Each structure stands twice: as C-alpha cells, then as structure tokens.
C-alpha cells in the first residue's frame, strides 16, 4: 500500500473580538480565543481544524499547541496507510484533550476530502450544502431578550435559544421572548447546569403551565450527576437535552441506560472531532435519542466541520425553506467579529452554506494567498 503522504501539523493561536458579550450561567466572554491547526501534506494540500479555548473545553492555548506539535504529530507520523483512516483512529484513541483532537481530526478530514476531490459534507455522506441554525441569546432581562428576539426574527431566524441562569423570573423572561417571537418561532432554553433538580422541575413546569411551548430544555442540572438529569426528565413534559453531560461514548451509554434525557447535543470540541461524533450519533440514533449538532464559540473553521457533520446526518434532500429542516445549534461563528481564513463556510442569517470546493473550501489564512508555513 502506498505510504501515507507526509503530514506536518502546524498550530497557531488566534484571538478575535466577539460582536457582543456572550453570557451564560457559567461564563462571560468578549473574545474568541482559539487555536487553528493546519495539516499540510507532501502534495501541497492544507487541511484546517480548530480547537476553541475556554473553561468549557477545559484547555489552554499553550496546552493545545504543545499537544498538536508533540503527541498528535507523532501519532499522525506513525500512520502508514494511504488514506487517513489509521491516523484518524490513532487520534481518536489518544489521551490528548478533546479540543486538540478535534482540531487535528477536522484537519485530517479536510485533507481526506480534498484528496477525494469532494466537499467535506459530501465526503461524509451529506447531500445538501445548506444547514440551518438557531440563534442564541445571552442571559439577560425580559425587555432586552424581547428586543434581541425581534431583531433576529426580523432577519429570518425561526429558532431562538435562550440562555438562562438561576436568578430572576424565568417565566417572565421566556414570556417576553415568546411575545416578541410570535407563535411559530421555535424556542429553546439552555441552562448550562444552573439548577438543582428540584429547581429545574419547578421552572420547567411553570413554563409548561404558562403555555410557552418550549421545544427543548438543555442541561438543566450539573453534569456528572446522572440521577439528577434523569429525575428532571421523568417529571416534565418538555424534552430534555444533555450537553455538558455527554462527551464520550461511555457517557452516552450511561445516559441511555438511565433514560436520563430525550436528546443529546453533540459538539466536536467535546467528542474530539468528526470520527467520534459520528460514532455518538449512530449510538444515539439506535437508542431512539434525538441528536442536535452544536458548537462552542468558534470561527468558521470549526463551524464548517460541524456543519459538514450535521449535513451528513440528514437523509432528506435540500430543503426549500427552513421550515422543512430542524435547525442545528451552530450559531457560534455569528458571534465572531471576523473570520481568520479565506473561503470556507458562509452564514446568511440562519443558513450556513458549505462551499462546493474540495474539503472545507478554505484556501488561506485571512489576508494571505498561501497556506501558513
């Protein structure tokens, strides 16, 4: 078999301002701190990946750079097959952080799709280059949430996700959002682990009694206490989605065994890239769980990979309107003031359009005409 083309990994730290502060129950961010990774082969191709840095991804910039240039580069160098399967398998089984593995996995998938001559979403089995997303609102008071809702729905968003914390009047907040959104806009809530199980049941029941028609309530209780998540799921009618609780296949097996949630939010920065994300999606589907593809605050490098993965999960042909497609949770790139690359995924309000160029369709770092060396 032809030797695996020599692949060199290069990691570069990037900091980009956000268009507005991102506020949840657990953090406040004003910039995107991330690490871009290029996988460059001997044939002149360059694949791209991203490792977002935050308290949520549990990594630091120096740690990711050291991981990419050290252990992960060594794993890729030891792969000797002509395709990228062996390298991807080695990376997925590595003990390196999931964010670092995500960056390398996505860069290798980009290279593999380029060698195949296909856009990444088609290489993964998707047919439509369009993926729909929700829009997230930071924790805020009712009037501000209503104003933001009107702004985003006027621009075409038909699914709004609201971040809640444990303070304030949750029903008043969501009532304001529902009034601003109208009856036909999907509403989601993400508590980011803000509540005790008893508080979560009380809040969700109050929202149900108010007739606010919440599509899904995400991660109401702290991760790691599976019985608490199951406690909430058994006592409310609103579908409960696990996020921070599920990083690995072992986590998902635990969720399934306890019937602890109705859906799972799969993020590449948690799973460690596209390959393990596909494994989680297959397991969730076989267990009858709903799957939503999510993201951290990321540039369009990470968003492009996540949207390509999301495109591969649908069996429908390209929808003609957003109403025909359940929106994913991939608005992270809309929070970033500028893109660090040329080409790649493109937002048009709630629609992410994936390029028809091979791979992720990225052809250079922003402001450059050639790959970083």
2, 58, 161, 267: the active-site residue = 267
Enclosing H/E stretch for 242: strand 240-242
Rounded-to-integer distance, Cα 23 and Cα 373, Å: 36
Asked if 267 is an active-site residue, the reply is yes
Rounded-to-integer distance, Cα 339 and Cα 300, Å: 7
Picking from 198, 196, 193, the residue whose alpha carbon sits closest to that of residue 217 is: 193
Asked if 270 is an active-site residue, the reply is no
58, 161, 163, 270: the active-site residue = 163
The residues near 268 (Cβ < 8 Å, ≥ 6 apart) are: 102, 105, 106, 274, 277, 295, 302, 305, 306, 309
Tokens of 250: 């072992």
CB 106 within 8 A of CB 268: yes
Rounded-to-integer distance, Cα 53 and Cα 11, Å: 13
User: What is the CB neighbour count within 10 angstroms for residue 363?
Assistant: 18
Tokens of 272: 């460690």
CB 57 within 8 A of CB 50: no
Active site residues: 163, 267
């Amino acid at each position: 078999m032809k030797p695996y083309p020599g692949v060199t990994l290069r990691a570069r730290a990037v900091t980009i301002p956000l268009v507005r502060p991102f506020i949840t129950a657990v953090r406040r961010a004003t910039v995107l701190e991330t690490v871009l990774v290029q996988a460059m082969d001997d044939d002149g191709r360059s694949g791209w990946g991203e490792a977002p840095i935050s308290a949520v991804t549990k990594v630091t910039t120096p740690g990711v750079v050291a991981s990419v240039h050290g252990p992960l580069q060594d794993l890729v160098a030891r792969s000797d097959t002509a395709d990228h399967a062996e390298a991807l398998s080695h990376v997925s089984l590595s003990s390196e952080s999931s964010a670092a593995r995500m960056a390398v996995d996505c860069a290798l998938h980009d290279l593999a799709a380029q060698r195949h001559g296909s856009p990444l979403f088609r290489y993964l089995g998707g047919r439509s280059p369009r993926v729909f997303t929700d829009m997230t609102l930071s924790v805020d008071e009712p009037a501000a949430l209503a104003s933001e809702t009107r702004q985003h729905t006027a621009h075409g968003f038909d699914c709004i996700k609201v971040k809640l914390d444990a303070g304030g009047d949750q029903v008043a907040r969501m009532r304001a959002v529902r009034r601003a959104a109208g009856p036909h806009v999907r509403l989601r809530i993400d508590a980011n682990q803000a509540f005790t199980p008893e508080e979560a049941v009380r809040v969700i029941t109050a929202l149900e009694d108010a007739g606010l028609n919440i599509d899904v309530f995400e991660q109401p209780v702290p991760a790691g206490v599976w019985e608490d998540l199951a406690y909430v799921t058994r006592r409310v009618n609103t579908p409960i989605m696990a996020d921070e609780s599920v990083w690995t296949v072992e986590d998902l097996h635990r969720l399934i065994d306890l019937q602890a949630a109705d859906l799972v939010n799969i993020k590449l920065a948690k799973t460690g890239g596209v390959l393990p994300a596909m494994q989680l999606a297959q397991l969730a589907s076989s267990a009858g769980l709903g799957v939503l593809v999510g993201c951290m605050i990321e540039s369009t490098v990470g968003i492009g990979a996540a949207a390509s993965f999301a495109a591969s999960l649908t069996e429908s042909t390209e929808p003609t309107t957003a109403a025909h497609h359940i929106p994913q949770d991939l608005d992270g790139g809309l929070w970033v003031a500028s893109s660090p690359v040329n080409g790649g995924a493109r937002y048009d309000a709630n629609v992410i359009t994936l390029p028809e160029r091979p791979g992720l369709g990225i052809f250079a770092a922003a402001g450059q005409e050639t790959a970083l060396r």
